[in-house]
């Protein structure tokens, strides 16, 4: 899964970047508490974001027809990056490039992760980018009529990451009792008991829990017993930006 290439259609612009960990709503949480959630942080940066090249607003009047979505550019003479193409309260972004992946690798296409937007929600798709000569669109579904939504310049509207084709179908999921795995159950009970004590101690200003503010075992990749969890545990991702190659002309 080493190759990911974006072939930009001539005459168009593609703004794409590794997704950052920062989110405005996370910055606004008390003491930036949201950043203590490692799964949230990893998801934030798990891929690349495609950005708006122009600022615009859009509104849906509730009807299913194409003209029910009205789009207004915020810059005079600027080309619209989004259109009403499918109807049913859908806003469609054109992605001006063909992505290419290694054989057997798809591209998961979705909205910006952990970036809620009022009155409109991103739709997701999976594209076989190892062979397809077709561009794809990024679509958003209005969730409430008569509410104008705004997209700013350099605001992400699409998030992508490679996905091994067939990986889910090869899994054999099952359900068992936790007591069937005594070692796992023991670690879970240690964590559950320690968490109850920790949360109770948080109320005491002079306690170690109040000083630590949060338990860091998962963040450090450790079991409640102190044993190492996984050798390849990650507390951050560092994705490479797309490298621009000169034209062959």
Tokens representing 200? 């109770």
The domain over range 4-164 is classified in CATH as 3.90.226.10: no
Domain spans of the chain?
4-164, 181-238
What are the φ and ψ backbone dihedral angles of 141, each rounded to 5 degrees? -110, 120
Instruction: Measure the CA–CA gap between 33 and 10, rounded to whole angstroms.
Output: 44
Q: Is 159 exposed, middle or buried (0-12, 13-18, 19+ CB in 10 A)?
A: buried
pTM: 0.91
Q: Cα Rg for the chain, rounded, in angstroms? A: 23
Give the model's pLDDT for residue 216.
84
pLDDT tens sequence for the chain (249 residues):
578 999 999 999 999 999 999 999 999 999 999 999 999 999 999 999 999 999 999 999 999 999 999 999 987 766 778 999 999 999 999 999 999 999 999 999 999 999 999 999 999 999 999 999 999 999 999 999 999 999 999 999 999 999 999 999 999 999 999 999 999 999 999 989 888 887 887 788 878 877 878 788 888 888 888 888 888 898 899 999 999 887 766
What are the φ and ψ backbone dihedral angles of 44, each rounded to 5 degrees? -55, -40
Give the model's pLDDT for residue 58.
97
**Beta-sheet strands, E only, within the chain:** 4-8, 16-18, 48-51, 56-60, 69-73, 82-83, 90-94, 97-101, 105-110, 120-122, 125-127, 137-142, 149-151, 156-164
Give the model's pLDDT for residue 199.
81
């Amino acid at each position: 899964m080493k190759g990911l290439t974006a072939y930009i259609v001539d005459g168009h612009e593609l703004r794409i970047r590794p997704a950052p960990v920062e989110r405005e709503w996370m910055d606004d949480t008390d003491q930036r508490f949201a950043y203590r959630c490692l799964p949230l942080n990893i998801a934030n940066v798990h891929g690349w974001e495609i950005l708006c090249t122009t600022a615009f607003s859009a509104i849906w009047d509730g009807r299913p027809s194409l003209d029910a979505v009205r789009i207004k550019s915020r810059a005079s003479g600027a080309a619209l990056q989004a259109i009403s193409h499918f109807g049913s309260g859908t806003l469609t972004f054109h992605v001006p490039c063909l992505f290419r992946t290694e054989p057997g690798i798809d591209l998961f296409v979705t909205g910006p992760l952990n970036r809620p937007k009022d009155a409109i929600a991103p739709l997701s798709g999976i594209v076989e980018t190892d062979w397809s000569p077709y561009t794809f669109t990024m679509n958003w579904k209005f969730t409430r009529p008569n509410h104008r939504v705004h997209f700013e310049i350099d605001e992400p509207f699409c998030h992508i990451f490679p996905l091994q084709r067939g990986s889910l179908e090869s899994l054999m999921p099952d359900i068992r009792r936790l007591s069937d795995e005594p070692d796992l159950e023991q670690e879970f009970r240690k964590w559950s008991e320690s968490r109850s004590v920790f949360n109770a101690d948080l109320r005491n200003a002079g306690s170690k829990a109040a000083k630590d503010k949060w338990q860091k075992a998962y963040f450090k990749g450790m079991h409640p017993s102190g044993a190492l969890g996984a050798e390849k545990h990650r507390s951050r991702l560092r994705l490479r930006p797309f490298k621009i190659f000169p034209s062959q002309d």
